[in-house]
Each structure stands twice: as structure tokens, then as C-alpha cells.
Homo-oligomer: A and B are copies of this chain.
Amino acid sequence: MRYTDNFNPTISDENLFEEIVKEKEYIGYYNLVHQDTSIFKEYAATVKQKNVVVIGIGGSTLGTYAIYKFLKHSKTLTKKLHFLETTDPIDIKSKLENIDLQDTLFVVISKSGTTIETVSVFKYLHSLTTIDSTNAVVITEFDSKLNTYAEKNNIRRFEIPKDVGGRFSVFSAVGLLPLAIVGIDIDELLKGTKEVHDSFFSKGLESSAEYNYNAYERILKKARFFTEHKQKFNINVVFSYSSRLEGFNKWYIQLWGESLGKMDINNTRQGLTPIGIIGPIDQHSFLQLIVEGTRDKTVTVITIDDFYNDLTIPSVGLEGLEELDYIDGLEFSKLINMQADATIESINNLKDIPCDVMSIDSISERSIARLMYEYELLTSVCAKFMYINAYDQPGVEAGKIILKEKFKK
């Protein structure tokens, strides 16, 4: 018998790890954990304006929004952060109504430098106020057209490294600069990423007792499970039990969808579909589908151990509603976590829905950064298992070309 095949090779955890270590030499996001943050902090210290408006879309805003949304009510922040992302005219107008543009710093972010949404909104802002080196800053690649614009107008520039993709850029200037400006501790963010980085790249040898097991093992196991069962479980639900994680969910959707929806090396379409839902709200919306519907979903539940908040249900007797008096005196943070536990238990009782639970310590820079960096690593590892390139997005180019043609007409 002669035999040949064109199967994708199968890959051991060991070989995969070596591939990731190789990739680390030319994919930039892995190494952002080692950055010197002083240029961001120095610039942040000079900003006088009360409002910071980020003009950007996709990878230029989602990660920053995720961190800001997570932390903003738990920290005393000195400034307000706003995002102008879309070409929807009513959205632009209604957002601007609540911002004093005379007391605003504009942060224009575009990796390519010619993102149509970003440039059109930036142009529009010129019709409302003067924009110059005193109230604008630009974050882009060093050789982009937006960089040229900034240079010509003497506007301060920060660089997005070429080897850091947009959706992996939150821990570069893209996220760190605006977050530092509003008063978030970016060193604590990087500390969180570095803990996960070190645990992963040392294969867990340096992991602390806080991990119930090390990031390397956890990520490898999860990525292997998700990709081996990708035909049956083509949907990966993240069920976050706090509205504070709504931005994280959106960031996850981009990271996962845009990185893993690709042709593989055999020209076979791949794609794991991300869904982000919020508990307990979506117990009243999406949970029924998870529990009784087709078995095509994995579920990752994310909970927060400590909300640092003692909001409590008072002992108020409501005549007629006495049957619910058992919740009296309970802290809301306790209630939401009991609801999460009940959901997890009901899913696990079914025994045929893959489910994992990530409990993060608290609402802090370090814990959100750890969660996000771990998801970046998980995405890279899944892509390796699937023999795809996590870092490009060729599928969205066709629409851009068609749009340009429409303009020519």
C-alpha cells in the first residue's frame, strides 16, 4: 500500500507551545507586557481638559471601553471618557450634546490612518470647534496618512507598532494612553498581563497560588477542547455575571470572531462564533436556548468575587409579597453570585453542555487585564490548533473596495 494524505497535521501541546514561542518573535502583542509606560503617564499628567473623546472604531475603541466600563464606577476618575465610533448621524449628534467641546481632548485612533468612520467623524468635529495641538492627540502607525496629518499640524503622536493588530492593541498606546489620561492605573494593568504572560510562558512554573491551576495548562486544555469539538459546538458563549463586563463581552466578540473566522491552510472555512451575554439579565433572555436548545454551544461563566459594594436589600415588608422576604438583608453582590451559581449548577446538572467558570477576584485594573490577556492568548492558541492566521482580516476588504467604487460613480 502506498499512502499519502493532505490532512492538517495534528499538533501536540508541546509543539504548539513552541509555535507560540516562535510567533512571539514577530507578533507584537505578546510583548506589550514589558513596556515602559512613562511616556503615557507623562503625557497624561499634562492634560487639562475634563473630557476625553476617543474617535475610533473596532480595535481602536473596544478594549479601552471594556476596561473603562469595568472600572469607572469603582474608581475616582478625574476625567470622563467618551467614544465616537459610528457614522450613525443620530448617535453622533446625541453623544456630542452632552460634551463640552471647549473642555475636551480629542484622541484620534486609527491603525491604518484612513479608517473612513474615524476620518469622517474627525472632519465633522472640525466644523464644531478648532482642533489643533492644544486639544488633539493621534495614535496610529508611524508611516500612516494620519501620522502625516499630525506631523504637519504639530499634533502629538503616539505609535501603534506595525506588529500589533488592532484587536490585540488594547495594552499598547491605543488603550494605555486614554486610560492613563482619565486616571486609570496602567501599571497595574500591565502587572496583570505580565502575571498571565509569565505563568503561560514558564508553563506555570511561576504561577501563584491565586491560580487554581496555571495559565498554560488552562489555556491549552480549553483551546484544545474548543477546537476539537468545533463542528458540534460552533458557538462559544461568554456569560458574564455583572453589567460591568458588558464592554469586555463586546471586545471578546471582536477578538474571537475576527481572529478565528478564517480559511485554514487547507482552504477550509473555520469559525467559532462568539456570543456575549450578561447575567442575571440574560437568564430572562438567552438561558432558555442554552438549556433546552440544540447542543451547539459551550458556556464560559465569568463571575466577580468581590464587588467592593455593600448595597443591601432592606427588610421592607411588602404586603402581598411576603413569600420573597427571604431575600431581606442580603447584599446584592451576594445575590448576583448566588444567581450565577444556580445557573452554573443547572447547566452542569444537564451533563451535556461544556461549561467552564472564571471567577475574577475583584473590580480592579489587575483582574480585568488578566482576563483580557488570557483571552488574547487563548485566541492565539485556538488559531494554531485550527491552522489559521489569527492576525489578519482579509474578509472585510471586499466591502471596502465596493464602497470606494460606489464613491467613484
A269 partner residues in chain B, CB cutoff 8 A: 292-295
A221 partner residues in chain B, CB cutoff 8 A: none
Judge whether A133 is part of the interface by a CB distance below 8 angstroms.
no
* Cβ-closest chain B residue relative to A88: B243
* Cβ-closest chain B residue relative to A333: B89
* Cβ-closest chain B residue relative to A273: B235
Q: A260 near B284 (CB under 8 angstroms)? A: no
Q: How many copies of the shown chain assemble into the complex?
A: 2
For the side of the interface on A, what is the size category? Answer: 35 or more
Q: How many angstroms between the C-alpha atoms of A168 and B71 in the bound complex?
A: 35
* Cβ-closest chain B residue relative to A327: B120
A351 partner residues in chain B, CB cutoff 8 A: none
Interface flags for A55-96 (1: CB within 8 Å of B; 0: not) read 001110010000000000110000000000111111111100
Q: Which of A59, A74, A120 has the most CB of B within 10 A?
A: A120
Q: B406 near A341 (CB under 8 angstroms)? A: yes
Judge whether A45 is part of the interface by a CB distance below 8 angstroms.
no
Q: Which one, A19-27, A148-156, A186-194, A364-372, is touching chain B? A: A148-156
Q: Which one, A169-177, A199-207, A391-399, is touching chain B? A: A391-399
Q: How many angstroms between the C-alpha atoms of A149 and B321 in the bound complex?
A: 6
Given A57-B284, A114-B324, also A89-B262 (CB < 8 A): no
* Cβ-closest chain B residue relative to A275: B275
Q: B342 near A123 (CB under 8 angstroms)? A: no
A327: shortest Cβ distance to chain B, in Å?
5
- From the candidates B149, B290, B327, name the one contacting A261 in the complex (CB within 8 A): B290
Judge whether A37 is part of the interface by a CB distance below 8 angstroms.
no
Q: B234 near A258 (CB under 8 angstroms)? A: no
A244 partner residues in chain B, CB cutoff 8 A: 88, 90-91
- From the candidates B307, B320, B398, B406, name the one contacting A349 in the complex (CB within 8 A): B398
Q: Which one, A4-12, A209-217, A309-317, is touching chain B? A: A309-317
Judge whether A13 is part of the interface by a CB distance below 8 angstroms.
no
Q: B395 near A288 (CB under 8 angstroms)? A: yes
Given A58-B285, A148-B319, also A363-B253 (CB < 8 A): no
Interface flags for A393-409 (1: CB within 8 Å of B; 0: not) read 11110111011001100
Q: How many angstroms between the C-alpha atoms of A148 and B319 in the bound complex?
A: 8
Q: A320 near B149 (CB under 8 angstroms)? A: yes
Given A89-B333, A254-B286, also A292-B148 (CB < 8 A): no
* Cβ-closest chain B residue relative to A70: B90
Q: Which of A119, A122, A294 has the most CB of B within 10 A?
A: A294
- From the candidates B91, B275, B319, B336, name the one contacting A87 in the complex (CB within 8 A): B336
Q: A311 near B92 (CB under 8 angstroms)? A: yes
Judge whether A270 is part of the interface by a CB distance below 8 angstroms.
yes
Judge whether A229 is part of the interface by a CB distance below 8 angstroms.
no
A87 partner residues in chain B, CB cutoff 8 A: 280, 332, 335-336, 339
Judge whether A208 is part of the interface by a CB distance below 8 angstroms.
no
Judge whether A343 is part of the interface by a CB distance below 8 angstroms.
yes
A136: shortest Cβ distance to chain B, in Å?
11
Judge whether A356 is part of the interface by a CB distance below 8 angstroms.
no
Q: How many angstroms between the C-alpha atoms of A244 and B148 in the bound complex?
A: 35
Q: A403 near B281 (CB under 8 angstroms)? A: no
Q: A342 near B402 (CB under 8 angstroms)? A: yes
Judge whether A346 is part of the interface by a CB distance below 8 angstroms.
yes
- From the candidates B73, B283, B316, name the one contacting A94 in the complex (CB within 8 A): B73
- Can you list 8 A-B contacts (CB < 8 A)? A113-B321, A114-B321, A124-B311, A261-B288, A271-B294, A292-B395, A326-B407, A342-B406
- Per CB-CB distance, the 7 closest pairs between chain A and chain B, nearest first, are A271-B293, A58-B284, A261-B289, A261-B293, A148-B320, A291-B395, A292-B395
Given A127-B316, A235-B235, A261-B289, 11 more pairs with CB closer than 8 A: A87-B335, A90-B244, A116-B335, A116-B339, A120-B332, A124-B312, A145-B321, A263-B292, A291-B396, A342-B406, A346-B398
